[in-house]
């Protein structure tokens, strides 16, 4: 197995265990990084140990002990610094107990990283760093944030965890629903940050985290549902763009959809539904599944959006409901819903409204709305797509109603 | 760990000094994990001394000029932030709407017995 793959699989596990032992994320991270560097040097030469996790944890723990001892020595101002460091270095293998089962403490770690006492952007960065194993560079690039800003954000968060006493624990039952919702929100936010432009594929990172969570909490329907939702969305990735152009779902080449991922998503959705409890991710996954069927059952989709709107109270859900209603009762019915929403700040509101206006034959208004959407678009394919629509609905490009009537 | 709970209250019409501690709050302050507390006079009573490049400037009023004012501080002992937040939430239940409690870990300090 390539070391990169081992690194990816082991980093979160090893780091979580180390945080459990050392009680400090910063110290654990430094020690883990050293252990992985040693592994990168030795494993290709000596072969991979029988228990890679155990080896990495033991090596990192010894490194951390050395660090702590060095700090202690410095604090004591003893003159034996050099000798102590030397005697402190031992071959890590001597400490490895391959029969010992290393507890998986990634859940404790993710609940720490997604604690509501941390700012959301810090939760996101910390989760990607500690559980995803992404470098600070990669995270900064993915979120288009300067390296320094992200580095400070991570350091501040780690210090707050230590100084404010944010616990390294899975929350008790009475707090679990809220705290789990916070964790899932972070994972879904990472997923929605998207991919492209040579940046890290954050959707893949989110799915990776989702798989880990589903393995750790196999009886939480919302955890399974979130993974299902992400897999069902992501399965259409290859069909979503053609020559840099956004292809809308109805025009997508279905042979490009990832059938295996869709099967996985549907299986997870079934497992989640079997619990008989409805949550926002379950409803969204069910909607994502319905969107993959042809023809689309807009009546069911609209019904689920109504359920979701009740659960979340989100105007963005109402906006999606408007699209489903427009598909059933015509664009004016959808526009009537949109008119009641306060979503002026939301970039997709204007493109959604523009699309319904265009279908309703209100090209002048559609043109204005597309222009607003274009000014708020953030990715190149979006900009290209909207610029085309702006051109299509431009007054010169359409038959002028006034002239037609004259 | 030790935490300081800083309670900020919205402005009030009645005289704070003549009002007793809210009925539900008093027993909470007697809990064994509360290691100390202080209820403060309204912010009109505050005087602020500020070090301005070595010169001590004296001004009338609180340092932070906001609608809410620091009404009290409570020192507690808790295993971790979640426990501290739970205690703060219980106390917040017994306060007037608009009150906020800032939870700050204590770096070090000394608490003489009352």
The ranges assigned to domains in chain A are 3-95, 344-400
> Which position has the higher pLDDT, B18 or A85?
B18
Residue-wise pLDDT for B15-73, tens only, equals 888 888 888 999 999 999 999 999 999 888 899 999 999 999 999 889 988 889 999 99
Residues of B in contact with A165 (CB under 8 A): 1, 3, 78-81, 84, 105
pLDDT value at A199 more than 80:
no
**Mean pLDDT of the region A77-97:** 48
Is A117 in CB contact (< 8 Å) with chain B?
yes
Give CA–CA dist A26/A18, Å, rounded: 10
Cis check: omega of the bond before A295, within 30 degrees of 0: yes
Q: How far apart are CA A14 and CA B18, in angstroms?
A: 59
* pLDDT band for position B14 (cuts 50, 70, 90): confident
Which residues in chain A are contacts of B82 at CB distance < 8 A?
166-167, 169, 171, 175
List % helix, strand, coil for chain A (3-state, nearest 5).
Answer: 70, 0, 25
Give all strands (DSSP E) within A5-82, no chain letters. none
Residue A88 has pLDDT above 70, yes or no: no
B80 and B1 Cβ atoms separated by less than 8 Å:
yes
User: Quick check: A166 and B79 CB within 8 A?
Assistant: no
Q: Which residues of A touch B80 (CB under 8 A)?
A: 165-167, 169
Give strand pairing partners of B55: B52
Query: Which chain A residues are Cβ-neighbours of B4 within 8 angstroms?
Result: none
Predicted local distance difference test score (pLDDT) of residue A89: 46
Tell me whether residues A117 and B85 touch, CB distance under 8 A: yes
Phi then psi for residue B30, to 5 deg, are -90, -5
Segment among A1-10, A85-94, B92-101 with least mean pLDDT? A85-94
CA distance B76 to A334: 55
d(CA A85, CA A54) in angstroms, rounded, equals 24
Rounded-to-10 torsion of CA A382, A386, A388, A390 = -170
Residue A326 has pLDDT above 70, yes or no: yes
Spatial CA neighbour of B5 closest among B40, B50, B37: B37
CB contact at 8 A, A229 and A291: no
Question: pTM for this one?
Answer: 0.84
Closest CA to A92 of A41, A19, A29: A41
Residue A171 Cα, gap to closest chain B Cα (Å): 9
Instruction: Choose among A163, A169, A175: nearest Cβ to B105.
Output: A163
In chain A, % of residues over pLDDT 70: 88
Chain A residues in contact with B107 by the CB 8 A cut-off are 163
Query: How far apart (Å, rounded) are the C-alpha atoms in residues A376 and A383?
Result: 9
The token pair at A66 is 């050395």
Q: Which of residues 307-346 of A touch B (CB under 8 A)?
A: none
H helix or E strand, kind and range, residue B37:
strand B34-39
Q: For the segment A333-381, what is each residue's pLDDT rounded down to a tens digit?
A: 999 999 999 999 888 999 999 999 999 999 999 999 999 999 988 788 8
pLDDT score for A403: 46
Q: What angle do CA A154, A194, A271 make, to 5 degrees?
A: 100
Each domain of chain B, given as residue ranges in start order, spans 2-40+72-105
Between CA B51 and CA B37 the distance in angstroms is 27
Size of interface A-B (CB pairs under 8 A): 28
**Tokens found for residue A104:** 């998986």
Interchain proximity A166–B105, CB inside 8 Å = no
Place of tokens 């025009």: A251
Residue A234 pLDDT class (50, 70, 90 cuts): very high
Q: How far apart are CA B69 and CA B71, in angstroms?
A: 6
- Chain A's closest residue to B79, CA to CA, is A165
Which has the closest alpha carbon to A217: A102, A110, A120? Answer: A110
- How far is the C-alpha of A18 from the C-alpha of A64, rounded, in Å? 9
d(CA A166, CA A22): 14
A175 touches B at CB < 8 Å: yes
Nearest Cα of chain B lies from the Cα of A3 at a distance, in angstroms, of: 37
pLDDT bucket at A98, cuts 50 / 70 / 90: very low
pLDDT at A188 over 50: yes
> Using CA atoms, how far apart are residues A383 and A212, in angstroms rounded to an integer?
35
Cβ–Cβ below 8 Å for A165 and B85: no
Whole-angstrom CA distances from A299 to A116, A283, A304 are 37, 14, 9
Return the residue of A nearest to B80 by Cα.
A165
Residues of A in contact with B108 (CB under 8 A): none
Instruction: Tell me, yes or no, if A166 comes closer than 8 A to chain B by beta carbon.
Output: yes
Q: How far is CA A82 from CA A76, A78, A89, A356, in A?
A: 13, 10, 11, 74
Structure-token pair, residue A7:
């690194």
User: Could you give the CA distance from residue A29 to residue A8 in angstroms, rounded to a whole number?
Assistant: 14
């Amino acid at each position: 197995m390539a070391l990169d793959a081992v690194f990816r699989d082991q980093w979160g596990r090893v780091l979580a265990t180390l945080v459990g032992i050392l009680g400090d994320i910063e110290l654990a991270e430094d020690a883990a990084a050293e252990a992985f560097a040693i592994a990168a040097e030795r494993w290709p030469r000596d072969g991979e140990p029988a228990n890679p996790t155990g080896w990495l944890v033991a090596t990192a723990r010894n490194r951390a002990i050395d660090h702590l001892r060095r700090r202690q020595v410095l604090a004591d101002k003893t003159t034996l610094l050099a000798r102590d460091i030397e005697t402190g270095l031992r071959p890590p293998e001597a400490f490895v107990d391959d029969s010992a089962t290393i507890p998986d403490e990634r859940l404790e770690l993710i609940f720490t990283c997604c604690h509501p006492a941390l700012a959301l952007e810090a939760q996101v960065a910390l989760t990607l760093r500690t559980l995803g194993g992404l470098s600070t560079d990669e995270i900064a690039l993915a979120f288009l944030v300067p390296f320094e800003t992200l580095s400070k954000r991570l350091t501040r968060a780690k210090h707050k965890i230590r100084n404010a006493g944010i616990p390294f624990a899975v929350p008790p039952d009475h707090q679990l629903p809220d705290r789990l919702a916070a964790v899932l929100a972070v994972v879904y936010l990472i997923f929605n940050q998207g991919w492209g432009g040579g940046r890290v594929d954050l959707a893949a990172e989110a799915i990776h985290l989702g798989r880990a969570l589903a393995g750790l909490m196999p009886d939480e329907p919302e955890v399974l549902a979130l993974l299902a939702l992400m897999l069902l969305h992501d399965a259409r990735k290859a069909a979503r763009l053609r020559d840099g152009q956004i292809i809308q779902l109805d025009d997508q080449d279905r042979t490009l959809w990832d059938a295996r991922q869709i099967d996985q998503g549907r299986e997870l959705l079934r497992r989640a539904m079997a619990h008989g409890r409805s949550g926002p991710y379950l409803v969204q996954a069910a909607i994502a599944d319905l969107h993959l069927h042809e023809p689309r059952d807009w009546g069911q989709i609209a019904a689920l959006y109504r359920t979701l709107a009740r659960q979340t109270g989100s105007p963005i859900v109402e906006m999606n409901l408007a699209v489903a209603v427009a598909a059933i009762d015509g664009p004016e019915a959808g526009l009537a819903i949109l008119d009641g929403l306060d979503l002026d700040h939301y970039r997709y509101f204007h493109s959604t409204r523009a699309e319904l206006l265009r279908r309703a034959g209100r090209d002048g208004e559609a043109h204005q709305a597309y222009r607003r959407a274009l000014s708020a678009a953030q990715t190149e394919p979006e900009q290209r797509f909207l610029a085309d629509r702006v051109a299509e609905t431009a007054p010169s490009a359409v038959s002028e109603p006034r002239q037609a009537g004259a | 760990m030790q935490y300081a709970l800083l309670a900020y209250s919205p402005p009030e019409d009645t005289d704070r000094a003549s009002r007793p501690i809210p009925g539900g709050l008093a027993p909470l302050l007697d809990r064994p994990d509360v290691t100390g507390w202080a209820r403060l006079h309204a912010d009109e009573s505050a005087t602020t001394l500020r070090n301005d490049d070595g010169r001590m400037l004296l001004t009338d009023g609180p340092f932070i000029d906001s609608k809410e004012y620091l009404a009290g501080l409570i020192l507690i002992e808790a295993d971790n932030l979640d426990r501290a937040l739970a205690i703060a939430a219980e106390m917040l239940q017994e306060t007037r709407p608009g009150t906020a409690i800032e939870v700050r870990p204590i770096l070090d300090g000394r608490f003489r017995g009352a």
